[in-house]
Amino acid sequence: MNATTGRPGKPVHLAVYDTLADWETGHATAQLARTGHEIRTVGPTTAPVRSTGGLRIQPDLALDDLRPEDSALLILPGADLWDTSADLAPFARKARDFLDAGVPVAAICGATAGLAREGLLDDRDHTSAVSFYLAATGYAGGGRYVEADAVTDGGALVTAGPTEPVAFAREILRLLGVYEGEVLDAWYRLFHDSDTAAYAVLEKAGAL
C-alpha cells in the first residue's frame, strides 16, 4: 500500500445491482481501498445481487438508507438494467440528491444513460460510450457531450464509457485527491498503457 497523498474521510459508496458490469469500477475501488478509503456497497435493498460476471454481492446498505452527507462519492457502474427496465431509476434520483447536496457522483457506461434520463447531463459536460447512445434517451444535453475517455464537470460529476475503466478511475482518484500531477499521470500510464517507466515515478511517490 501505499500512497500517502490520499485523504480518506467519509466512505465511498459503490452502487450494486443485478447485471452490474464488474470490470468498470474495479480499478477505482481497488486503488481507493489501497489508499485507505472505505468502500461501502449500496443496493436496491440489502438482498444479494448478481453481477454480469456471476459474482454474488451482499450490499452493505439499501439505497433508501443512503444520505449524501454520509458519503464522499457515489459510484454508479453500468448494467444491462439501465437500458432494459426502469428498475435502476431510483439510483439516478439518488444521484440528483447527491449533486444537489454538493457531493460528487461518478457514472460509467449505462449509468450515464440513467443520468441523462434524469436530466442530470443537460447542463453538465459529460461523455459516454458514444453520443448517439445518450441521444436515444431523448435528453437535452447533446451540446455538452465531450469526445473524451472520461470527463469531470465542475469537480462534481465524472462520466466515462464502458471501455475506459482506467480513465474513469483516474478522474475519481483526481477528484478525491488521492493522486495528482505526475503521480496520477504515471498511475494512468501504468494501468492503461502498461508503461513500465511509470513504475519509477510511483515507487518514488510511495504509490505502489
* Residue numbers annotated as active site: 109
The 3-state DSSP class for residue 26 equals helix
- C-alpha torsion 88→94→95→101, nearest 10: 180
Q: How far apart are CA 74 and CA 54, in angstroms?
A: 23
Residues 6+ apart with CB under 8 A from 74: 13, 15, 42, 66, 68, 94, 95, 98, 103, 104, 105, 106
Q: Alpha-carbon torsion 45, 46, 52, 54, what sign?
A: negative
Q: Alpha-carbon torsion 175, 180, 41, 78, what sign?
A: positive
DSSP state of 51: -
Query: Which has the closest alpha carbon to 181: 154, 199, 201?
Result: 201
Question: How many CB atoms are closer than 10 A to CB 39?
Answer: 17
